[in-house]
């Protein structure tokens, strides 16, 4: 068994009489990249803030590196890096000065301080804007600087709340590569994202939150197998044609969005043959089922069992 870097047991958070987090149990294995997924307001940021020790749980226990965060948040924080959903940067100062000040906060002294600042400017490709006041930087550069700041103390656990929201595709890809490099060096990563392709690429395990609870947890591949099936047949058809198509297919998972039907099957070939033999359908596509399908199945669009 791999040791857990973060464990949550029965963790709850109540705001104004409403449960934002409702009895969450989680184990984040050492060295893993673990993703918290879920719709807006599901409780992801609140959970991360409790792990970091800036929000106190209403109930339950959180241990980071085996230390009870409620008792000794300080001991935990020195080993942890965090990029929260909102950037907190010193606006009139340059990226370089922001990094220096944050380094001093972590009690780094010269020449180590300068070495790390230089290293991080390269790592997050900030050098072209090293001297520009933060307030004049684009959103994407501010985000990159925030992530650089969270790496200043070479954390063993890195918490990233929506790290790539607002980044252009090239920068997202570059950041994914950086996250993988950090993981390869042994850093444990706990992140949230609304991009299911990102979660599928980066995360060894994900927990899908809905209304403050963990609805499902496992590797992206496990979740696809558990909730849906390996392949998705997508096509346009009306409900009568759907009934004819699936008349003797047994129990299948399916989802309808307007005229568009998605059917989840382990092998779509025979179903696709039936589609070709049937009138009233259009644009059939077979593709691998992805985490976005699972996300919708768990949290969103209604999903039904196909009946004979
Ligand atoms: N400080 C606060 N005071 C009152 N309610 C709060 C506070 N922080 C969060 N909430 C509420 O807790 C719930 C969960 O919020 P949270 O920010 O954890 O969601 P999230 O999953 O991170 O959503 P998003 O994907 O939009 O970032 C929401 O209903 C939110 O309004
Ligand atoms: Mg959030």
What's the pLDDT band for 1 if we cut at 50, 70, 90? Answer: low
User: Using CA atoms, how far apart are residues 44 and 161, in angstroms rounded to an integer?
Assistant: 8
What contacts 204, CB < 8 A, 6 or more positions away? Answer: 29, 32, 33, 34, 219
Judge if 215 and 231 occupy the same domain: no
Number of domains in the chain: 2
Q: How far is CA 174 from CA 19, 164, 215, in A?
A: 37, 10, 31
Judge if 70 and 206 occupy the same domain: yes
Ligand 1 atom, smallest distance to 42 CA: 21
Tell me, using a 6 A CB cutoff, whether residue 17 lines ligand 1.
Answer: no
The per-residue pLDDT for 198 is 95
Tell me, using a 6 A CB cutoff, whether residue 51 lines ligand 1.
Answer: no
Judge if 248 and 208 occupy the same domain: no
Last residue of a domain, one of 220, 251, 273: 220
What CATH number is given to the structural domain containing 124? 3.40.50.300
| Average pLDDT of span 111-135 | 93
Tell me, using a 6 A CB cutoff, whether residue 38 lines ligand 1.
Answer: yes
Residue having the nearest C-alpha atom to atom 11 of ligand 1: 20
Judge if 63 and 200 occupy the same domain: yes
Q: What is the pLDDT of residues 40-53, one digit of tens each?
A: 999 999 999 999 99
Smallest Cα–Cα separation from 208: which of 36, 16, 59?
36
Q: What is the pLDDT of residues 250-281, one digit of tens each?
A: 788 999 888 999 999 998 988 898 888 887 77
What's the pLDDT band for 33 if we cut at 50, 70, 90? Answer: very high
| Average pLDDT of span 128-145 | 93
The per-residue pLDDT for 306 is 45
Tell me, using a 6 A CB cutoff, whether residue 284 lines ligand 1.
Answer: no
Last residue of a domain, one of 190, 205, 220: 220
Judge if 184 and 290 occupy the same domain: no
Q: How far is CA 277 from CA 19, 29, 272, in A?
A: 52, 49, 9
| Average pLDDT of span 91-96 | 95
Judge if 147 and 234 occupy the same domain: no
Is the pLDDT assigned to residue 304 strictly greater than 80? no
Judge if 57 and 14 occupy the same domain: yes
Residue having the nearest C-alpha atom to atom 27 of ligand 1: 40
Q: Which of 17, 19, 20 to probe ligand 1 with, by most ligand atoms within 8 A of CB? A: 20
Q: Ligand 2 centroid vs 129 CA: distance in angstroms?
A: 28
Q: Against a cut of 0.75, is the pTM above it?
A: yes
Judge if 139 and 247 occupy the same domain: no
Share of the chain above pLDDT 90, in %: 73
The per-residue pLDDT for 301 is 54
Judge if 107 and 207 occupy the same domain: yes
Which has the minimum average pLDDT: 62-66, 82-86, 193-197, 284-288? 82-86
What's the pLDDT band for 308 if we cut at 50, 70, 90? Answer: very low
Tell me, using a 6 A CB cutoff, whether residue 193 lines ligand 1.
Answer: no
Last residue of a domain, one of 220, 248, 263: 220
Judge if 19 and 158 occupy the same domain: yes
Smallest Cα–Cα separation from 190: which of 149, 158, 217, 164?
158
Judge if 182 and 261 occupy the same domain: no
User: Using CA atoms, how far apart are residues 122 and 252, in angstroms rounded to an integer?
Assistant: 50
User: Using CA atoms, how far apart are residues 84 and 96, in angstroms rounded to an integer?
Assistant: 20
Q: Which of 16, 37, 42 to probe ligand 1 with, by most ligand atoms within 8 A of CB? A: 42
Judge if 196 and 238 occupy the same domain: no
Residue having the nearest C-alpha atom to atom 4 of ligand 1: 15
**Encoding tokens for residue 255?**
């989802």
Domain ranges, residue 264: 225-305
Tell me, using a 6 A CB cutoff, whether residue 44 lines ligand 1.
Answer: yes
Neighbour order of strands in the sheet with 188-192: 80-83, 157-161, 188-192, 33-37, 205-210, 213-218
Q: Name 8's bridge partners.
A: 26, 62
What CATH number is given to the structural domain containing 253? 3.30.70
């Amino acid at each position: 068994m791999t040791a857990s870097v973060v464990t949550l047991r029965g963790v709850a958070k109540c705001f104004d009489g409403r449960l934002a987090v409702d009895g969450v149990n989680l184990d984040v294995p050492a060295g893993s990249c673990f993703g918290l997924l879920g719709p807006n307001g599901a409780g992801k940021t609140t959970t991360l803030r409790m792990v970091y020790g800036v929000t106190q749980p209403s109930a339950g226990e959180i241990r980071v590196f085996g230390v009870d965060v409620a008792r000794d948040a300080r001991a935990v924080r020195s080993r942890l890096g965090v990029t929260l959903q909102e950037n907190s940067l010193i606006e009139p100062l340059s990226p370089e000065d922001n990094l220096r000040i944050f380094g001093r906060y972590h009690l780094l002294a010269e020449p180590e301080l300068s070495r790390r600042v230089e290293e991080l400017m390269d790592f997050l490709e900030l050098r072209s804007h090293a001297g520009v006041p933060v307030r004049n930087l684009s959103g994407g550069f501010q985000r990159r600087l925030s992530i650089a700041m969270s790496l200043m103390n070479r954390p063993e656990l890195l918490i990233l709340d929506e790290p790539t929201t607002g980044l252009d595709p090239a920068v997202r890809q570059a950041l994914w590569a950086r996250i993988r490099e950090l993981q390869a060096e042994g850093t444990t990563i706990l992140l949230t994202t609304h991009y299911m392709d990102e979660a599928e690429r980066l995360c060894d395990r994900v927990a899908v939150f809905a209304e403050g609870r963990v609805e499902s947890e496992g590797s992206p591949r496990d979740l696809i197998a558990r909730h849906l099936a390996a392949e998705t047949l997508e096509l346009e058809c009306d409900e009568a044609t759907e009934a004819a198509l699936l008349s003797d297919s047994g129990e299948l998972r399916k989802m309808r969005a307007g005229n568009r039907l998605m059917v989840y099957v382990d092998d779509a070939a025979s179903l696709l043959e039936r589609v070709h033999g049937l009138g009233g359908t259009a644009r059939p596509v077979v593709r691998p089922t992805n985490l976005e399908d699972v996300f919708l199945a768990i949290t969103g669009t209604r999903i039904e069992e196909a009946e004979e």
